Amino acid sequence: AQLLTPSAFQPRQDDSNPESTDRQGEGTPVRTKTRNEVFSGSAWDALKVRHILRRKVGKGLPNELVDKIMDAAEYWASEMAYMAVMPERSRQGNRVIVRQDHDMVVLKTVPLCFTKQGNDNASGLTPLPYRGTHPCRKIIFHLSSHDQGGGGDATGPELYQKESWTWFDTEVIHAAHKRGAAEWLENEKGLVAHQIGPGAGPFILDQTGYRSIGGNVEIVWHYLDDIEPDSEEAGIIERTKGRGRETLDGRGVRELQVGDAIAVWARARFPNWTNIVYNASAQVFWAV
């Protein structure tokens, strides 16, 4: 799924002076101010609230009603993943630099409904409580980056016309809790790419736009999203916000299964194009 492209975050600039980017240090999330604070409790917090609603409210509410209350309040468990710090990557300072015709995984989430200690995603995994076969409810991506390369001067509602050959997309790693991190994906450390443009995975962000917004971008996938990818509305969002139309119908959230993980890829294509990533994080929420 295509998330966004880095040029969507801030104007093209020389990467030697990224003053507009709020960097929190290596491997830390982007602190984007939003209108509403997002609840980021643990599975145990959610279980406590369920217990109160089931046992302490009157004679106790039925499970079906408690489920609806928890979902309406978005009182869910969550796990956060940050941009990995790996010495073999093309890093300069606090940046990950993906150069022309290369791909790189900038983060991998913890398998859904698990928590972990340590760096190996398959070691130290502990299962957490969840509800239903497909418990994922929301994923919040924070990206801080910019592109560098040639391109046009599109502005206004057509800001996202294809003039940047850098972008972010995602790949679902099924049953990630059953295998080691080294077995997860091929070519994740920045080797030469084998495809020209965005592949079949959901496109998070096309970096052509957001040049007037600044360095930090938040993208939210929700299980109740229902915009059809081939609709006019999806086309407008893709052109004006740089968000991939495949991410707008909620399927990417609803179809995740327990143990699945998500890899966020940063990509760059063609001579002189570079994807410069300062920070990336993903917070995955699920029902308990």
- Rounded-to-integer distance, Cα 112 and Cα 127, Å: 9
**CA–CA separation, 272 and 72 (whole Å):** 47
Q: Are 275 and 207 in contact (CB under 8 A)?
A: yes
Distance separating alpha carbons of residues 79 and 243, to the nearest angstrom? 23
Cα–Cα distance measured from residue 94 to residue 30, given in angstroms and rounded to the nearest whole number:
13
How far apart are alpha carbons 213 and 22 in whole angstroms? 13
Q: What is the pLDDT of residue 195?
A: 60
Token digits of residue 157: 């509602």
Nearest to 158 by CA among 227, 237, 245, 267: 237
d(CA 234, CA 111): 29
CA angle at 67 for the pair 65 and 71, rounded to the nearest 5°: 120
pLDDT score of 135: 98
Looking at residue 192, what DSSP letter applies? B
pTM comes to 0.78
Q: Which two three-digit tokens encode residue 152?
A: 């046009």
Q: How far apart are CA 135 and CA 288, in angstroms?
A: 8
Could you list the pLDDT tens digit for every one of the 288 residues in the chain?
A: 666 544 444 433 444 333 333 333 334 343 344 445 566 789 999 999 999 999 998 889 999 999 999 999 999 999 999 986 655 555 566 788 888 888 888 999 999 999 987 655 456 899 999 999 999 999 999 998 877 765 555 444 443 345 678 888 898 999 999 876 555 676 676 665 556 666 545 656 665 444 434 467 889 999 999 999 999 999 898 888 778 888 999 999 999 999 999 999 988 888 888 888 999 999 999 999
Q: Is residue 109 within 8 Å of 79, Cβ to Cβ?
A: yes
Q: What pLDDT does 92 receive?
A: 60
The C-alpha atoms of residue 220 and residue 34 are separated, in whole angstroms, by 12
Contact 15, 95 (CB under 8 A): yes
Tell me the C-alpha distance between 217 and 238, whole Å. 15
Instruction: Give yes or no for a contact between 100 and 272, defined as CB atoms under 8 angstroms apart.
Output: yes
